[in-house]
Amino acid sequence: MDDRPTGYLSDAARAALRQASTATLTSQLIKRGFRNTFLGGLTALRPDLHMVGYAFTLRWVPMREDLDSGGTVDNRTNVQRLAVEAVGREDVLVMDASGDLMAGTLGNILASRVLARGATGVVTDGALRDVTGFREIEIPSYARGGHGANSSNRYHPADMNVPIGCAGVLVMPGDVMVGDADGVVAIPRAVAEEVALAALEQDELEAFVLEKIQGGSSLLGVYPPDAGTRAEFEAWRRR
């Protein structure tokens, strides 16, 4: 049964996450005690696109010949193909490949199907096939690298919509995934709403601080901001 709590963010929170940087979100999560949320080592294949969506997970395990012969894939039973046909609007397909780069976990044709189903991103801690094709698809995609071999040469798709580890970070189905040019952060669903709104305020404050620093202010009392700077910021926001 698919009981993912998709669609639980408010419109205001979704709008905030579309603007928030992963650096800001990571800072907000650290303030709440979540220290391991940034998926390190991944490259954005479309750094011009911002990703916001709910995690739909796929877990790969090492291939074994009695499970995958390397022949024709059966779309009715192969878990990867079932996952591609199960992702929905606002989902992000997040794949656990244990950091292995010796085959591609997804190619551009399957990614195009993921996009057509309304998903908003593709994330893997392994490799992707057809990297040039991914750069032409209007979907944010993140990977550790590229590889020309198909998945069955190296992996077996074992489960979908189960807790996974991706790039050393726990990702639960339904967690909020946000990506920018720097990478991807996984936001636990329990704090996603408050983190989103707090991140928007932090980004606005840091824009004000940057403006003051560029104008010649010293760091003292400005970064981090003291009460006086915060009062200036509130006045600046009302302009």
| pLDDT of 67 over the 50 cut | yes
Among the listed ranges 17-26, 128-137, 145-154, which one has the minimum average pLDDT value? 145-154
Hey, what's the torsion of the CAs at 18, 24, 28, 34, to 10 degrees? 100
Q: Domain boundaries in the chain?
A: 11-194, 201-237
Using one digit for the tens of pLDDT, what is the confidence trace for 177-234?
999 999 999 999 999 999 999 998 898 899 889 999 999 999 999 999 999 999 999 9
- Specify the pLDDT at position 6: 55
Distance CA 89, CA 176 (A): 13
| 163, 170 Cβ separation under 8 angstroms | yes
- Specify the pLDDT at position 2: 44
For residue 206, the tally of other CB atoms under 10 A from its CB is: 17
Class of domain 11-194: alpha beta
